[in-house]
Amino acid sequence: MFKNKLAILGAFIVGGLILTAIFAEMLAPYNPLEQNIAQGLRAPNTAHWCGQDKLGRDLFSRIIYGSRISLWVGISTVSISLVIGLAIGSISGFYGGWIDELFMRTVDILMAFPGILLAIAMVAVLGPGLNHVILALCLIGWVGYARLVRAQVLYLRELEYVTAAHALGATPARIIIQHLLPNLIAPVIVEATFGMAGAILAEASLSFLGLGAQPPTPSWGSMLNEGRQFLLLAPHHTTFPGLAIMLVVLGFNFLGDGLRDFLDVKKV
């Protein structure tokens, strides 16, 4: 793991995001909601490292607090999607038959729609808001985990130790929980790492469209939207939030690649 420099870089970026979100009050030099309209759109300087937005709010402080929104959406979406995907994928792969057909056809239907468009449609129906964004992302997020878990269970259920558990009288629930799930956790962890990057990017996209976190809540996507009209006059308004999104997504992708190589049992 330590030989993969990009994975180490990704781990540092992700660790930095987590620490920034936890200690936002200590790290932010200003109140992210404090306005100073007289200094609106001021360029970066020694007092305001990332400049100020159109209302004179400190962009550096807003980016720091925006990390909480991104991390919360990522963790919530991945956690809920993972639980649903593990349950449906393991049951579908273990039992097969009409249960498998029902679940997998549902997965096929959901995957037929572009994920971001389905999320936009759902949030548009429910109304803008962070909780609705998480709900919309979970609606489409679990299908990838379900397909991955089902494929792993189809392979694992044919192995000798599962047959031995059957012969010893173990119940299906015991086999799934104690014998199958622990042996498919490695690819699920990798998928969850990439899922964090996708969820953060999706939240930024929905907030950019005005469907995510509502003003004055600091969100990286909404900052991009607010600075869009001042792109030539004050490019810092979009540059720094965009760099934050890019850096975090790259960090999770680098970490996911490293974990995929590290947890690949075929290379052991």
Name the maximum alpha-carbon separation found in the chain.
77
List the one residue out of 85, 131, 125 whose CA is nearest residue 106. 85
Those residues with Cβ within 8 angstroms of residue 150's Cβ, 6 or more apart along the chain or in another chain: 88, 89, 90, 92, 93, 100, 103, 104
**pLDDT tens, per residue, the chain with 268 residues:** 667 888 999 999 999 999 999 999 999 999 999 999 999 899 999 999 999 999 999 999 999 999 999 999 999 999 999 999 999 999 998 888 889 999 999 998 888 888 888 888 888 888 888 899 999 999 889 999 999 999 989 888 888 888 898 888 888 888 888 888 888 888 899 999 999 999 999 999 999 998 888 888 899 999 999 999 898 899 999 999 999 999 999 999 999 988 888 876 554 4
Distance in angstroms (rounded) separating the CA atoms of residues 190 and 10: 13
**Please, what are the domains in the chain?**
5-17+58-267 (1.10.3720.10)
Helix axis angle, 236-262 to 185-208, nearest 10°: 170
CA separation, residue 134 to residues 51, 209, 232 (Å) = 30, 15, 33
pTM of the predicted model as reported, rounded to 2 decimal places: 0.89
